[in-house]
Amino acid sequence: MGVLDELNAGARADMEERRALTGQDELARRIEALPPARDPLPAFRAPGIAVIAEVKRSSPSAGALAEIADPAALAEAYARGGADAISVLTERRRFGGTLADLVAVRARVDIPVLRKDFVVDDYQLYEARAAGADLALLIVASLTDRELAGLHATALDLGLTPLVETHTADEVRRALDLGAALIGINNRNLDTLEVDTATFARLAPLVPDEVVKVAESGVRTPDDVRVFAEAGADVALIGQALVTGGDPVAGVRAMKEAHRG
C-alpha cells in the first residue's frame, strides 16, 4: 500500500467512527443554521500572490513540526500578517490534526478556512461545512472520475469552494474536465513524498488563465513564492515554513510581499 492509499484508508476508518456518533442528517441541520460560506476566489484573483497559511503540526515526510497548542492563535497571527485564507489539517494519524482545530480557527478568524484532509466521502464535506469550513481539498489521485465529480458537486451544493489538487498532466486534465475553478498543483508526489519544485512550472501552462492556480509544497522562502508567481501561481499554500519560522505574522507578510502584481 502506497502512502496515499494508507492516508485514504486511515481517513475513511476515522470518518466511520465519527459517523457512528453523528449522522449526516444532523450535520445537515447544523449547516442550515450557519451563515453562507466565505468566497475565497476574489482575494485569490487579486493582483500579487495570495497566501493560504497552514496550521500543520506534523507530516509524513517531515515528522513533527510544531506543538501548536492553540491553533486559533496561530491562525489569528497568520491573518494579521495578511493571509488570504487559513488551511487546517484535520487528519489525525500522520498530521496530528482534528476537526476541533478547524472549529477553533473558524471562531477566531474572518477569512476563508480550508479543511485539508483526505476526502473520500460526502460525509467529510458535510463535516467540513458544519465545522465552518469555506473550502475543502479534493485530491484527484485519490478518486475515480465518478467519485471526483460526485464530491465536487456535493461541495458546491454545500457552498464549499473545492480546491482540486493535481500532480500530473492527466490529473490537470481531469480537474479541468470537472470544471474546477480552483486547481492546486502539488510539487510533492503523494506516493513517494518526494518534492520536485519544477512540477508547478511544467503543469501551470496547461491551466487556463481564468482558473485560479495554487502552488503547493516546496514553498519555503519568499524567493520560492516569487518563482512560483512568475510561473503563473495566483496562490501559494505554505505550511512548514510558517509553523517553524518563529514569527507567523512576519512570515506571512514576507511571503505576500515577495511578488507584487
Question: Cα dihedral angle (232, 117, 90, 7), rounded to 10 degrees?
Answer: -130
Cell numbers 480550508 correspond to 114
- Residue 222 is predicted with a pLDDT of 96
* Main-chain phi, psi angles of 48, to 5 degrees: 85, -160
How many CB atoms lie under 10 A from the CB of residue 113?
28
* Catalytic residue from among 54, 91, 127, 171: 54
- Residue 260 is predicted with a pLDDT of 61
Q: Residue 69 pLDDT > 80, yes or no?
A: yes
Catalytic annotation on 59?
Answer: no
* Catalytic residue from among 56, 87, 127, 187: 56
Angle value at C-alpha 193, between 192 and 195, nearest 5 degrees: 115
Catalytic annotation on 256?
Answer: no
Q: Residue 11 pLDDT > 80, yes or no?
A: yes
Q: Band the pLDDT of 62: cuts 50, 70, 90.
A: confident
- Residue 63 is predicted with a pLDDT of 82
DSSP state of 22: S
Q: What is the pLDDT of residues 93-130, one digit of tens each?
A: 989 999 999 999 999 999 999 999 999 999 999 999 99
DSSP state of 33: T
- Residue 127 is predicted with a pLDDT of 98
Q: Residue 1 pLDDT > 70, yes or no?
A: no
Q: What is the pLDDT of residues 125-177, one digit of tens each?
A: 999 999 999 999 999 999 999 999 999 999 999 999 999 999 999 999 999 99
Q: Which three cell numbers stand for residue 148?
A: 471526483
* Structural domain that includes position 251: 3-258
For residue 169, the SS3 value is: helix
Q: What does the alpha-carbon distance between residue 52 and residue 259 come to, in Å, rounded to a whole number?
A: 15
Closest CA to 120 of 133, 134, 101, 136: 136
* Catalytic residue from among 186, 187, 189, 256: 186
Catalytic annotation on 32?
Answer: no
* Catalytic residue from among 8, 59, 87, 116: 116
Catalytic annotation on 56?
Answer: yes
Q: What does the alpha-carbon distance between residue 163 and residue 244 come to, in Å, rounded to a whole number?
A: 25
DSSP 206-246: GS-TTSEEEEES---SHHHHHHHHHTT-SEEEE-HHHHSSS
Q: What is the pLDDT of residues 197-249, one digit of tens each?
A: 999 999 999 999 999 999 999 999 999 999 999 999 999 999 999 999 889 99
- Residue 170 is predicted with a pLDDT of 98
Please name the residues in contact with 209: beta carbons below 8 A apart, sequence gap of 6 or more. Answer: none
* Catalytic residue from among 142, 213, 217, 256: 217
Catalytic annotation on 61?
Answer: no
Catalytic annotation on 210?
Answer: no
Quick check: 172 and 211 in contact, CB under 8 A?
no
Q: What CATH number does the domain containing 121 carry?
A: 3.20.20.70
Catalytic annotation on 87?
Answer: no
* Catalytic residue from among 76, 91, 165, 171: 165
* pTM (predicted TM-score): 0.96
Q: What total of structural domains would you count in the chain?
A: 1
Q: What is the pLDDT of residues 18-47, one digit of tens each?
A: 999 999 999 999 999 999 999 999 999 999
Angle between helices 222-230 and 248-257 (to 10 degrees): 30
Cα distances (Å, whole numbers) of residue 229 to 69, 209, 213, 234, 246:
32, 13, 10, 7, 24
Question: Cα dihedral angle (15, 19, 25, 28), rounded to 10 degrees?
Answer: -40
Q: Residue 261 pLDDT > 80, yes or no?
A: no
- Residue 139 is predicted with a pLDDT of 98
